[in-house]
Amino acid sequence: MKELIFAGTLLVASTAFSQSNSKIKMETIITEQVNTLFAGADERNWNKVKSVMDNQVLLDYSSMTGSSSSNLTPKQIITAWAAFLPGFDRTNHKLSGFKIEINGDEAVAIYIGKADHYLNSEVWTVEGSYNTKLKRVGENWLINAHTFNFEKQGGNIGLPTEASKKMERLTLTENNRKVVDNFFIALETQKFEILKDVFAENGKQLNPYSPAGFPKSFDGAEGIYKQYSGLTANFGQMKFPRQIFATEDPNFFFVKFKGEIEIKAGGKYENDYLGMFKLENGKVVEYTEYFNQIVMAKAFGIDLK
């Protein structure tokens, strides 16, 4: 009888230990998932952020922003965070005091958070607590609700506005960079109609180094299109290996490039170029092209005297 009681006690103890061990394992996974969310945001690793989210997440930062909570997809959340956080030089989230409540396939992580946002040697700090809800999917736990309970902020509270303005400049720079690159794509693919979208209606190309008898400018998007589309009569494939350099002004770019152009009559015309692009409202209003006159003259038998 004593043996049976002892065996039963061992079984109960073993079961309790197994359940306790399983609970600790789940709490560890849940804590890691929450930490991964913030680490991904700090690293700007949006795939990492996405990996811990369910298909829909109820996001609630109303205590800080005043905006109501919203059910969003991971893509929508990442788009919003990616449009703001990279405006800071770096961010650092510190989490502590985790309390995990598990009820079947649902869990809530309650913890304290402090976020430092750095920009230009200054910092904006936000502190509060979080309630993050998760649901079990197989052996994993995915976040399906995320609430921030704002408590206080410190440092330079004007940094969010500066970060937003920085992101606006970066976005404009990147969009304009694509417009500049499309100029070269139009020539390389010989889809010259693209030039009508690249240049403003009154845009122009300036050619200050053109020798006598060659136009010093191409005027208007239509005029530029006609000039380049006419190249196919004498030239075949065109390649322009290039480096596009942005400046502090998101509407101004330098491009260093090489022209590698097949001549239908035989041979190849190669030259080195420097281009300056000025844009307004996403269109090129002025493109100035510089090249080696001597190379051009030798290639086409032009007398520079």
All domains of the chain in start order, with CATH: 2-157 (3.10.450.50), 164-300 (3.10.450.50)
Nearest to 144 by CA among 75, 266, 56: 56
| Cβ-count burial 120-130 (b if 16+ within 10 Å, e if not) | eeebbbbebeb
Has residue 16 got a pLDDT over 60? no
Whether the model pTM is above 0.85: no
When pLDDT is cut at 50, 70 and 90, the band that residue 8 belongs to is low
3 state DSSP class of 135: strand
Residue 74 CB neighbours (<10 A): 19
Residue 126: which of 152, 148, 146 has the closest Cα?
152
Q: What is the overall mean pLDDT for the chain?
A: 92
Model pLDDT, residue 86 = 96
Report the half-sphere exposure of 301 (CA within 13 A, side-chain side). 0
* Residue found under tokens 């560890």: 28
Mean pLDDT of 2-23: 53
Confidence at residue 23, expressed as pLDDT on a 0 to 100 scale: 80
For 41-72, the pLDDT digits (tens) are 999 999 999 999 999 999 999 999 999 999 99
Contact indicator for 53, 74 with CB cutoff of 8 Å? yes
Average pLDDT over residues 106-111: 98
Give the tokens for residue 26. 């789940």
- pLDDT single digits (tens) 134-189: 999 988 999 999 999 999 999 999 999 999 999 999 999 999 999 999 999 999 99
What confidence tier does 305 reach under pLDDT thresholds 50, 70, 90? low
Alpha-carbon distance of 68 to 59, in angstroms, equals 9
